[in-house]
Amino acid sequence: MTLQDENKNDLIKLRFQKAEETFAEIENLMQLGYWRTAVNRLYYACYYAVSALLIKNDIKAHTHSGVINQFGLNFVRTDVFSQEEGRLFKNLFELRQDGDYDDWIIISEDDIAPLVEPVKDFIEKIERLIFNK
């Protein structure tokens, strides 16, 4: 199934809007000390933005791992994004998995605070690529 251009553009905008809204939640979560939830939102902000980028480029992925892999193949290996940016996205996925499913993992401000600015930059870069800003 392929999306018609109008539907595709609407879906891209919707996914990117979800990325922005999800990222906006992080500051409040950090102020409340909800570190597990903050890492979840950091990951999902990136996930929604990358999903929008994949849709824009007609690249299909049906799972979280698929999104990460397609991002790596199509944007990191081609030097659109750096290896560091690729690792950021993958590491956020792993940290989110640990925070959501590992009862014994401790996630703290020291784990989350250094990720906020790189995630913001990552999302802004995707915005420039999608919307030619």
Question: What pLDDT digit, counting tens, does each position of 31-90 carry?
Answer: 999 999 999 999 999 999 999 999 999 999 999 999 999 999 999 999 999 999 999 999
CATH number for the segment(s) 5-131: 1.20.120.330
In Å, the largest CA–CA distance within the chain is 46
Q: Domain map of the chain by residue range?
A: 5-131
What's the predicted TM-score (pTM) here?
Answer: 0.94
Q: What is the pLDDT of residues 43-60, one digit of tens each?
A: 999 999 999 999 999 999
Q: Please name the amino acid found at residue 27.
A: E
Report the percentage of the chain scoring pLDDT > 70. 98
